[in-house]
């Protein structure tokens, strides 16, 4: 018989090669193996060090827990960085890599890593909830409830701050009358209210039938993408959303392909404040030694690009053109930007990144 869980998993995946669980190419297959080994050697080790005392497999030790927490943070940050611009770990579908990472994290998220611990890893949590929502996963793990507070192992001290002993009552001082020219009590001054994002206000006051999250999940999980686009056209709300094409104003200065691709990654990172209110595909066209262009197509909540310009100062270096008439020609061009892996406007795609 075959033993060891990873060997069994690879065996099952090879039996059903049509599922793509080992990747679509030899290169992707190597990437899948990379992440499966990473889980076994880097991720599971510190997570098990946190979980075993909780499950009673060994005694709790402060130094071991401290080291496990430090190692876990380092490993989760690697996963977080990898998923910044990716939906899944390898390619555009779930593979054995996702299954391995999910299997390693689920009990840690349910028992050991509380809400505050998980907070810095937004990309990882987005990926985790996406995978957990898949019917194939839900059929096995059911509804996944993540821990608000970590479960304490036997012998571990409570992480709540100890209460201070009540102080002895002090003799009441005679209150002096306040002079007219005393400074105002700043503690009584009204605190500045947090300003709600205008597009969040729009969502609340003028809700749209199209929810951005629904579109993003559909785009991520529907193959071929032409079916996802048909869903978008069937559900599109022209009053609540708008499409915009953008072109970098200084494409003639793009001389190195890798630098241009890095510039696009940086642009998307600086657009984080718009993540809830936009969806976009930024593409790098051309090749080394020739003209290298940055172009994109974006879908914004509302009818203006101004919120993007406010969120990301680099957006001012682009020319933004609104799609005023959403006819068949406009839809075809949007589909090309959102779906094509070969060419855009007749030019070869060197790299493409999705903001969702």
Examine the fold and report which residue of 98, 121, 141 is the final residue of a domain before the chain moves on. Answer: 141
Task: Confirm whether 194 is domain-assigned.
Answer: no
Q: pTM score, two decimals?
A: 0.48
pLDDT at 174: 53
pLDDT at 188: 45
Q: Are 266 and 335 in contact (CB under 8 A)?
A: no
**Statement to judge: residues 215 and 334 lie in one domain:** yes
Examine the fold and report which residue of 100, 118, 141 is the final residue of a domain before the chain moves on. Answer: 141
**Statement to judge: residues 11 and 128 lie in one domain:** yes
- Show the CA angle centred on residue 276, arms to residues 270 and 277, nearest 5°: 90
46-50, 143-147, 316-320: segment of lowest average pLDDT: 143-147
**Tens-digit pLDDT profile for residues 80-123:** 999 988 889 999 899 999 999 999 999 999 999 999 999 999 99
Please report, for the domain that includes residue 69, its CATH number.
Answer: 1.20.1050.10
**Statement to judge: residues 10 and 126 lie in one domain:** yes
What is the domain extent for residue 271?
Answer: 206-355
- Show the CA angle centred on residue 203, arms to residues 199 and 209, nearest 5°: 130
**Tens-digit pLDDT profile for residues 201-247:** 888 888 899 999 999 999 999 889 999 999 999 999 999 999 999 99
Task: Confirm whether 108 is domain-assigned.
Answer: yes
Task: Confirm whether 329 is domain-assigned.
Answer: yes
Examine the fold and report which residue of 93, 113, 141 is the final residue of a domain before the chain moves on. Answer: 141
Task: Confirm whether 59 is domain-assigned.
Answer: yes
**Statement to judge: residues 210 and 349 lie in one domain:** yes
Task: Provide mean pLDDT across the span 309-329.
Answer: 93
Please report, for the domain that includes residue 289, its CATH number.
Answer: 3.30.70.1010
Task: Confirm whether 256 is domain-assigned.
Answer: yes
Q: Are 284 and 293 in contact (CB under 8 A)?
A: yes
Q: How many domains does the chain have?
A: 2
Backbone angles phi and psi of 332, in degrees to 5: -65, -40
Task: Confirm whether 164 is domain-assigned.
Answer: no
**Statement to judge: residues 113 and 221 lie in one domain:** no
């Amino acid at each position: 018989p075959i033993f060891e869980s990873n060997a069994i998993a690879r065996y099952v995946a090879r039996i059903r090669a049509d599922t793509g669980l080992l990747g679509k190419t030899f290169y992707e297959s190597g990437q899948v193996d990379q992440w499966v080994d990473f889980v076994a050697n880097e991720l599971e080790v510190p997570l098990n060090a946190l979980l075993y005392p909780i499950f009673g497999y060994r005694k709790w030790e402060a130094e071991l827990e401290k080291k496990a927490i430090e190692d876990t943070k380092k490993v989760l940050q690697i996963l977080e960085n990898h998923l910044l611009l990716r939906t899944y770990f390898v390619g555009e579908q779930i593979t054995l890599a996702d299954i391995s990472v999910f299997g390693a994290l689920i009990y840690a998220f349910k028992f050991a890593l509380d809400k505050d611990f998980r907070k810095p890893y937004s990309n990882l949590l987005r990926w985790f909830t996406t995978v957990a929502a898949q019917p194939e996963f839900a059929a096995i793990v059911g509804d996944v409830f993540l821990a608000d507070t970590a479960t304490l192992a036997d012998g571990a001290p409570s992480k709540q701050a100890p209460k201070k002993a009540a102080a002895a009552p002090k003799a009441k001082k005679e209150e002096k009358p306040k002079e007219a020219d005393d400074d105002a009590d700043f503690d009584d001054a009204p605190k500045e209210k947090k300003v709600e994002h205008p597009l969040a206000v729009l969502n609340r006051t003028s809700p749209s039938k199209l929810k951005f999250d629904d579109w993003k999940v559909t785009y991520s999980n529907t193959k071929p993408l032409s079916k996802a686009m048909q869903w978008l056209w069937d559900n599109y709300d022209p009053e609540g959303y708008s499409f915009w094409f953008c072109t970098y104003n200084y494409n003639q200065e793009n001389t190195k392909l890798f630098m241009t691709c890095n510039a696009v990654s940086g642009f998307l990172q600086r657009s984080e404040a718009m993540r809830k209110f936009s969806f976009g595909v930024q593409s790098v066209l051309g090749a080394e030694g020739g003209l290298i262009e940055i172009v994109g197509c974006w879908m914004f909540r509302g009818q203006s690009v101004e919120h993007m310009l406010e969120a990301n100062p680099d957006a001012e270096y682009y020319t933004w053109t609104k799609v005023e008439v959403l006819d068949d020609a406009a839809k075809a061009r949007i589909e090309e930007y959102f779906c094509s892996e070969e060419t855009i406007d007749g030019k070869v795609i060197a790299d493409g990144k999705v903001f969702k």
